[in-house]
Amino acid sequence: MKIYDALNGQMRLVGGCVRDFLLGKKPSDIDISTPFVPDIVKHKLEKSGIRVCPVAPRYGVMSATICGERFEITTLRRETYDTGKEVITFITDYAEDARRRDFTINALSMDRDTVYDYFDGQVDLKNKRVCFIGEPMVRLREDALRILRYLRFWSVYGDDKPDSDILALFSMFRDGLGKISYGRRRKEFDKILMSSRVIPVLDLMKQSGLLPYVTTDGDISCLKSFLINHPTASLSERRLHFGHYLQTERNKK
């Protein structure tokens, strides 16, 4: 509410916290979108006594901290790939911002009174479907990291089996993962490791030839045996029993 007041109500909750709300779960984090550009966000928050710092300025992502709790605030944006490179443009249209997001269940947003759903994400959430916004082939070509994001979302929100047509596309775009920064790959993979269906996801990754893009010697059987007796194991414990991550770019040098 402090952020809401500081931004004059020009904000919505987005992403995972909206899904959690619809599923009756307590959100693990709160992400916010706003039409205000980063400089204005910073000015308004600091004027209200809220500590704020940039996270990813190019993408309009700021971080606000209140009573030790962190809130991510992102300016609405458009992403285009016409030249083969990602071009970021700040916008003021929530619907257009939703269109750039990868999955229907990730494009949900809400304000104090309304849940906004431009792509039937609530239907997909209810039916445990992970569906791309637009053509999956186009979205994977834009950003190969969506391979890992699809598997991560399926592990949390999907039904018994992921879409076989989507899985068939992974071999076409997996080499693109090698061009993604180590940090982005690791962030997604860490979330996969903490999923309740981590073993089925790792099996799918092995079948699709994806494991070499996140680990040098991942041992699924070792992690599986460990989790049988330690289902609530921490991320560090799961990492230890799975194998070695790829070296960072710094270590490679």
In the prediction, which pLDDT does 183 show? 87
Together in a domain, 94 and 148: no
Together in a domain, 187 and 126: no
Does the pLDDT of residue 208 top 50, yes or no? yes
Q: How far apart are CA 51 and CA 64, in angstroms?
A: 6
DSSP letter assigned to residue 248:
P
Together in a domain, 111 and 173: no
CATH of the domain at 23: 3.30.460.10
In the prediction, which pLDDT does 246 show? 60
Q: How far apart are CA 69 and CA 67, in angstroms?
A: 6
Together in a domain, 75 and 173: no
Crossing angle, helix 220-229 and helix 198-207, to 10 degrees? 170
DSSP letter assigned to residue 142:
H
pLDDT tens digits for 128-152?
A: 999 999 999 999 999 999 999 999 9
Reported confidence tier of residue 252, pLDDT bands at 50, 70, 90: very low
Q: How far apart are CA 139 and CA 146, in angstroms?
A: 8
Together in a domain, 88 and 157: no
Phi-psi region at 223: left, alpha or beta (left = phi > 0; alpha = psi -120 to 50): alpha
Together in a domain, 143 and 249: yes
Q: Which of 132, 167, 183 is the last residue of a domain?
A: 132
CATH of the domain at 173: 1.10.3090.10
Q: How far apart are CA 198 and CA 17, in angstroms?
A: 22
Does the pLDDT of residue 251 top 50, yes or no? no
- Distance set, CA 143 to CA 90, 102, 185 (Å): 19, 10, 12
Together in a domain, 220 and 156: yes
Compute the 3-state secondary structure of the chain and give helix, strand, coil in percent, each to the nearest 5.
50, 15, 35
Closest among 204, 192, 201, 169 to 238, alpha carbons compared:
192
Reported confidence tier of residue 82, pLDDT bands at 50, 70, 90: confident
- Distance set, CA 33 to CA 46, 71, 127, 251 (Å): 17, 11, 26, 36
Strand partners, 71: 64
Q: Which of 108, 132, 156 is the last residue of a domain?
A: 132
Q: Could you tell me the residue range of the domain that residue 207 belongs to? A: 135-253
pLDDT tens digits for 10-47?
A: 999 998 999 999 999 988 889 999 999 999 999 999 99
Q: Indicate the number of domains in the chain.
A: 2
- Edge-to-edge strand order for the sheet containing 61-66? 51-56, 61-66, 69-75, 31-34, 12-14, 109-110, 115-116
Together in a domain, 140 and 17: no
